[in-house]
């Protein structure tokens, strides 16, 4: 799993083409130490500076092309060979990152109008929009059920999230960057960004707690790493409020299981942890 535990800002100062001093800042990371992370940050800041000075446009930060800059909160499994890592993502939700237990994230597509007049009716009728959305949801679920019937050797659990489906595979362990994984993602119509993240970050991810804007909570006021004492205080205050709001919501509902689950302790542990964390049996709204 490509989730570095150490992050730090690196600063690089030099003179630009006009001879004026300029400072660039970049986040660096390391699996070894905060010192190495800071050194990496300086190197990255220097590369950006050199691109700017040469007249090139700095490469835009792409989330799926960088290690995950998230705070590690818990590790599951033996040190150095963890089966999962719990992190807090950029907007504050907890995320389960698995090395070999596969999750597939499928988004519901936006309902499409069936012609001009249907589009007009959808625009002005909330009831019609809700009915069309249910059609989209049922169609997506049916496609997953059809895929399961065509692939009886696969086993997985299907969950409903607010905006899509989550599949947790239980027939065997999978490799995030393997061709087999990419093929299954494509056949099931997985979210394209999730597909890229899985390959680049070398792990399968599943959100465990509500998105702040869905549970009447603000976003975090500061991002990780929090390098100042005031940042830690702001984060603690935000976290207390977020936990109070998010406990009234859950992430997904369990819908159905397919195939024969393997007798594998790693899979069993992840299924149990996931289902408890997302509160599948609780009577709460999805968020």
For 102-156, write each residue's pLDDT tens digit: 999 999 987 665 665 555 555 666 666 677 677 889 999 999 999 999 999 999 9
CA angle 245, 249, 254 (to 5 degrees): 160
| Domain range for 253 | 71-216+244-278
- pLDDT of res. 243: 97
123 belongs to a structural domain: yes
- Tokens representing 230 are 């005031």
Least confident of 41-50, 139-148, 197-206: 41-50
66 belongs to a structural domain: no
Using CA atoms of 256, 260, 263, 264 in order, give the dihedral in degrees to the nearest 10. -60
- Domain finish residue from 61, 84, 105: 61
CA distance 17 to 146: 61
- Name the band, by pLDDT with cuts 50, 70 and 90, for residue 283: very high
- pLDDT of res. 155: 98
- pTM comes to 0.88
- pLDDT of res. 64: 47
- Domain finish residue from 41, 61, 81: 61
272 belongs to a structural domain: yes
Buried b (16+ CB within 10 A) or exposed e, 76-114: beeeeebbbbbbbbeebbbbbbbbbbbbbbbbbeebeee
163 belongs to a structural domain: yes
Q: Are residues 158 and 271 in the same domain?
A: yes
Q: Are residues 208 and 82 in the same domain?
A: yes
227 belongs to a structural domain: no
- pLDDT of res. 126: 64
Q: Are residues 46 and 122 in the same domain?
A: no
- Domain finish residue from 61, 83, 100: 61
Q: Are residues 12 and 95 in the same domain?
A: no
Number of domains making up the chain: 2
1 belongs to a structural domain: no
- pLDDT of res. 63: 45
235 belongs to a structural domain: no
CA distance 101 to 200: 16
Q: Are residues 160 and 269 in the same domain?
A: yes
Indicate the SS3 state at residue 106: strand
pLDDT digits (tens, 9 = 90+) for 177-189: 999 999 999 999 9
The rounded Cα 98 to chain-centroid distance in angstroms is 11
- pLDDT of res. 58: 58
207 belongs to a structural domain: yes
Q: Are residues 198 and 101 in the same domain?
A: yes
- Name the band, by pLDDT with cuts 50, 70 and 90, for residue 4: very high
CA distance 272 to 265: 10
């Amino acid at each position: 799993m490509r989730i570095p535990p150490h992050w730090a800002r690196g600063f690089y100062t030099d003179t630009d083409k006009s001879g004026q001093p300029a400072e660039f800042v970049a986040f660096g990371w390391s699996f070894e130490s905060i010192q190495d992370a800071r050194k990496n940050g300086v190197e990255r800041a220097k590369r950006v500076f050199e691109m700017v000075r040469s007249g090139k446009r700095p490469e835009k930060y792409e989330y799926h092309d960088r290690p995950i800059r998230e705070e590690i909160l818990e590790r599951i499994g033996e040190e150095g060979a963890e089966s999962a890592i719990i992190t807090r993502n950029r907007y504050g939700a907890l995320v389960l990152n698995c090395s070999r237990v596969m999750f597939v994230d499928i988004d519901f597509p936006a309902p499409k109008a069936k012609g001009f007049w249907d589009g007009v009716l959808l625009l002005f009728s909330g009831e019609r929009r809700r009915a069309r959305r249910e059609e989209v949801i049922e169609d997506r679920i049916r496609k997953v059920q059809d895929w399961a019937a065509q692939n009886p050797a696969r086993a997985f659990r299907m969950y409903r999230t607010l905006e899509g489906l989550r599949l947790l595979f239980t027939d065997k362990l999978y490799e995030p960057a393997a061709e087999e994984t990419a093929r299954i993602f494509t056949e099931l119509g997985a979210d394209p960004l999730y597909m890229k993240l899985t390959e680049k970050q070398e792990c399968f991810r599943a959100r465990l707690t509500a998105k702040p804007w869905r549970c009447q909570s603000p976003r975090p006021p500061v991002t990780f790493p929090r390098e100042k004492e005031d940042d830690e205080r702001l984060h603690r205050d935000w976290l207390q409020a977020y936990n109070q709001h998010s406990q009234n919501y859950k992430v997904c509902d369990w819908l159905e299981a397919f195939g024969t689950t393997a007798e594998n302790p790693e899979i069993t542990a992840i299924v149990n942890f996931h289902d408890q964390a997302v509160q599948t049996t609780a009577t709460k709204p999805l968020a």
